[in-house]
Amino acid sequence: DKQLSQLKLKFGENVLAETNAFEMHLTNEDDIAGLPDGAKEAAQQLAESKGKTGWLITLDYPSYIPFMTYADNRELRKKLAIASGAKAFKGDQLDNQDHVLQIAKRRHERAKLLGYNTHAHFVLEERMAKTPETVEAFLNELLNKAKLAAKSEFDDLESFAKELDGIDNLEKWDSAYYSEKLKQKLFNLDDEQLKPYFKLSNVIDGVFTIAERLYDLKFEEIATIDKYHEDVMTYKVTDTKGNLVSIFYADFFPRPGKRNGAWMTVYKAQYIKNGHNDRPHISIVCNFTKPTKSKPSLLTFNEVTTLFHEFGHALHGMLANTTYPSLSGTSVFWDFVELPSQVLENWCYEKEALELFAKHYETGEVIPMELIEKIKASATFHEGMQTLRQISFGLLDMAWHGQDPSEISDVKTHESKAFANTKLYPDVPENCMSTSFSHIFQGGYSSGYYSYKWAEVLDADAFEYFLEQGVFNKEVATKFKDHVLSQGGIEDPMTLYKRFRGKEPRPDALLKRAGLLAK
């Protein structure tokens, strides 16, 4: 465990150092052709902050994603994509290949010492799935249902890119760019159309209002709480009687030294001792575009769902009501922990919810109904490819942890074998995912990455219940609060879920929502 702690720490430090080290400095305006004004302005401000002229593009998501999605210059997209995929895979002092091998081997050794076949057997004993065989059967069942759809979507995208720009072979750095172009063509919808309706402060108010309507919570911003950075916002959360429910922290913007991505964390768990219910301190961290000189922070729709996702985790922590801190809030089986987060994302697609917060930042106009319809219609766009991508990550995780890794000597070769059944794009020799796959080598998702798809089955089934009764139905919300959100890990998750839903979940709800049943 000591060795693993040190290896995981070093793995994460290397990924962060690699992310921070890369900068693409552009001085020719042609190189940023296609980028939305907001992304150009942010890149210009970043360059200015470092005493440079022109524009600066980095591997931080608010910089990386817009460039990969909109930049017309294919060579620069290639350069950026390869830099991102080559993190900690260059054979230098920041290389993680040996750390990956050592982490996998130490985990296996520990599992054997404890009497388990593999690390996955050890981990999954305390998961809903229980065994690696169940996980692999689940992933392969989804793979069989999604693969045809994914291949069809990929072929359509390739034909579209060829027709539009004469691209003969679609590469990974073409994916987001042509997907966005095709989405605009099919649905007449793009993120830049939507962003003015998703001002960050409005989205925050919206998610608070939804939590109030579902779970009777009130959020009040307060300035009397210590915080680790001036960007962090702090709130006091109370119930309808004014009782303290939680302290809530929100940290939304990138800065040097802060890692990429989004997550929820608990500073102080809820517990009951000597008759006193000690309330939790909960935080969410994201990396959204900072306000610029001319615009407030405007979110892409994907960032809106990210905020809702992390806030769903936060509700799980805030509404905790158990005796022991070790079983409180999100201290549940890891393939159950994503249910509260993923289920809340569904409200982002509902008219009743969107009208609460999706208002134009300049005019105050509520998002037009036609845009809501387009958001819903495009929700399953490229769902086959997205599903295949998530399955590939789950299979890679199991390839590292569901077998004896002592004979594995080459990280890239092993990874390529794991990806063989889910591969759509040509391989990029300079790239390797494992060396920066922080979820499984630094975070807590080893043998658990399948949880995202597993929880999607739960969330689709759970939200179907809300849809049947009404998205703000108090009775269903109270059941979810009483039987899921407040209960932490005090009982088997399936017992809790059946108490809420009245039955076990079925994958059909997910496949139906994803548009994969008909294909």
CATH of the domain at 239: 1.10.1370.40
Is 506 inside a domain boundary?
no
**Could you tell me which of 406, 401, 415 has the C-alpha nearest to residue 449?**
401
Q: What is the per-residue burial (b if ≥16 Cβ within 10 Å, else e) of 125-154?
A: eebbbeebeebbebbeebbebbbebbeebb
**Checking DSSP bridges between strand 244-251 and strand 233-238, what pairing results, if any?**
antiparallel
Residue position matching structure tokens 């997910």: 510
Question: What secondary structure letter does DSSP report for 366?
Answer: B
End-of-domain residue from the set 318, 350, 378: 378
Token output for 270? 């809820």
Question: Half-sphere exposure of residue 178, counting CA atoms within 13 Å on the CB side?
Answer: 23
A 10 A CB-CB count for 426 gives 10
Is 497 inside a domain boundary?
no
What is the rounded distance in angstroms from the CA atom of residue 53 to the CA atom of residue 35?
17
Token output for 488? 């932490």
Question: What's the number of domains the chain is made of?
Answer: 3
Is 499 inside a domain boundary?
no
CATH of residue 188's domain is 1.10.1370.10
**DSSP 3-state of 249:** strand
- Within this chain, do residues 30 and 173 fall inside the same structural domain, yes or no? no
Token output for 478? 């109270």
- Within this chain, do residues 261 and 344 fall inside the same structural domain, yes or no? yes
- Within this chain, do residues 228 and 148 fall inside the same structural domain, yes or no? no
Domain range for 53 is: 2-77
Burial of residue 186, with CB atoms counted within 10 A of its CB: 0-12 exposed, 13-18 middle, 19 or more buried: middle
End-of-domain residue from the set 349, 378, 407: 378
A 10 A CB-CB count for 229 gives 9
Is 275 inside a domain boundary?
yes
Contact 444, 334 (CB under 8 A): yes
The span from the first CA to the last CA of the chain, in angstroms, equals 46
Which amino acids are annotated catalytic? 310
What is the rounded distance in angstroms from the CA atom of residue 397 to the CA atom of residue 456?
18
What is the rounded distance in angstroms from the CA atom of residue 62 to the CA atom of residue 299?
10
CA R_g for the chain: 23
What is the rounded distance in angstroms from the CA atom of residue 450 to the CA atom of residue 395?
8
Contact 99, 437 (CB under 8 A): no
Reading the chain (519 residues) residue by residue, the pLDDT tens digits are: 999 999 999 999 999 999 999 999 999 999 999 999 989 999 999 999 999 999 999 999 889 999 999 999 999 999 999 999 999 999 999 999 999 999 999 999 999 999 999 999 999 999 999 999 999 999 998 999 899 999 999 999 999 999 999 999 999 999 999 999 999 999 998 888 899 999 999 999 999 999 999 999 999 999 999 999 999 999 999 999 999 999 999 999 999 888 888 999 999 999 999 999 999 999 999 999 889 888 999 999 999 999 999 999 999 999 999 999 999 999 999 889 999 999 999 999 999 999 999 999 999 999 998 998 898 888 889 999 999 999 999 999 999 999 999 999 999 999 999 999 999 999 999 999 999 999 999 988 999 999 989 989 999 999 999 999 999 999 999 999 999 999 999 999 999 999 999 998 887 788 888 887 754
For residue 242, give the amino acid letter: G
Q: Please give the model's pTM, rounded to 2 decimal places.
A: 0.82
At 184, give phi and psi (nearest 5°).
-60, -40
Is 82 inside a domain boundary?
no
